[in-house]
């Protein structure tokens, strides 16, 4: 059964191909993806590698966690499914109040 790994601490120079090549040393890599910023296209410093078996995934964790790739020390562990992660808080409020055009930003003043 395939196992997805989270790879943190990636260099901004690490590519999908470089990540796949590195993790292939531990076993069969199904996919390797460096997550990039949608606006700039620059790496966000983390990615995911999907290994063919749980044994290969464990070998990859043992081989790469705390080790250096492209000048950066990696954090490698089992990826958590989206549903298991805690809800994100903070940031931009899309609740319809405040902000731009929501009416609450100017305190209700209309004399400007």
Sequence spans of domains, the chain: 3-77
The continuous run of DSSP H or E covering 73 comes out as strand 72-73
Dist. CA 67–CA 24, nearest whole Å: 15
Dist. CA 81–CA 3, nearest whole Å: 11
Q: What does DSSP assign to residue 8?
A: E
What is Dmax (Cα atoms) for the chain? 67
Q: Beta strands 3-8 and 75-78: pairing type?
A: antiparallel
CATH fold for the domain made of 3-77: Alpha-Beta Plaits (3.30.70)
Model pLDDT for residues 2-49, shown as the tens digit of each residue: 899 999 999 999 999 999 999 999 999 999 999 999 999 999 999 999
Model pLDDT for residues 48-64, shown as the tens digit of each residue: 999 999 999 999 999 99
Dist. CA 20–CA 14, nearest whole Å: 10
């Amino acid at each position: 059964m395939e196992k997805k790994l989270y790879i943190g601490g990636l260099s901004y120079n690490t590519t999908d191909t470089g990540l796949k090549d590195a993790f292939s040393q531990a076993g069969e890599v199904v996919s390797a993806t460096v997550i990039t910023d949608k606006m700039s296209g620059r790496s966000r410093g983390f990615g995911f590698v999907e290994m063919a078996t749980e044994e290969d995934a464990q070998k990859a964790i043992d081989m790469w966690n705390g080790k250096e790739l492209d000048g950066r020390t990696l954090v490698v562990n089992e990826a958590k499914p989206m549903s298991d992660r805690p809800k994100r808080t903070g940031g931009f409020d899309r609740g319809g109040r405040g902000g731009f055009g929501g009416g609450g930003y100017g305190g209700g003043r209309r004399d400007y």
